[in-house]
Amino acid sequence: MAKGHRSQIKRERNEQQKDRRPSAKISYARVSVQKACYVLDAIRGKDVTTALGILAYNPRYASTVIEKLLKSAIANAENNNGMSADNLYIEECYANKGPTMKRIRPRAQGRAYRIEKRMSHITIVLNER
């Protein structure tokens, strides 16, 4: 039998399994998952300087949100993990579906059409080469 209390054993096990890679996450971003994935596909696997260049000249709205998120992930890597920004690359980046705001659009003859304003949760995970 293992030593210690059950919660202590769980805490130690979770500490060993914890992901140590630097990351950043934005929740409830007002951009749909489909639109965010166009931008995320363009930067996946690239080093951070190239990715920042791609995001700076990408005309999509999602690129401004993702650029800010990437800068935050780079700052996390430098400050929390002591990594150099020159060696970092984007290992994982993905967008998950968030809640949808339902709105009504008035139409002819008293009808109403549904407008769905979608949100997403965007995550960027970096690693060193």
Residue 16 inside a domain? The answer is no
Residue 88 inside a domain? The answer is yes
Token pair 């995001």: residue: 55
Residue 41 inside a domain? The answer is yes
Residue 105 inside a domain? The answer is yes
Give the pLDDT confidence of 47-80 residue by residue, as tens digits. 999 999 999 999 999 999 999 999 999 999 999 8
Report the candidate in 88, 91, 35, 96 with the shortest Cα–Cα distance to residue 63.
35
Residues spanned by the domain of 112: 21-128
Q: Look up residue 86 and give its two tokens.
A: 């020159």
Residue 107 inside a domain? The answer is yes
Report the candidate in 46, 69, 43 with the shortest Cα–Cα distance to residue 57.
43
Per the CB < 8 A criterion, the answer to whether 114 and 69 are in contact is no
Rounded CA-CA distance 126/77 in Å is: 8
Residue 102 has pLDDT above 90, yes or no: yes
Residue 19 has pLDDT above 80, yes or no: no
pLDDT, averaged across the chain: 92
What CATH number corresponds to the domain at position 96?
3.90.470.10
Q: Which residues contact 46 (CB under 8 A, 6 or more apart)?
A: 54, 89, 90
Residue 90 inside a domain? The answer is yes
Q: How many domains in the chain?
A: 1
Residue 4 has pLDDT above 80, yes or no: no
Residue 38 has pLDDT above 90, yes or no: yes
Q: Which residues contact 81 (CB under 8 A, 6 or more apart)?
A: 20, 22
Residue 126 has pLDDT above 90, yes or no: yes
The reported pTM is 0.83
Q: Which residues contact 65 (CB under 8 A, 6 or more apart)?
A: 26, 29, 31, 36, 122
Q: What is the pLDDT of residue 10?
A: 86
Residue 1 has pLDDT above 60, yes or no: no
Alpha helix segments (H runs only) across 18-92 = 33-43, 48-56, 61-80
Residue 115 has pLDDT above 60, yes or no: yes
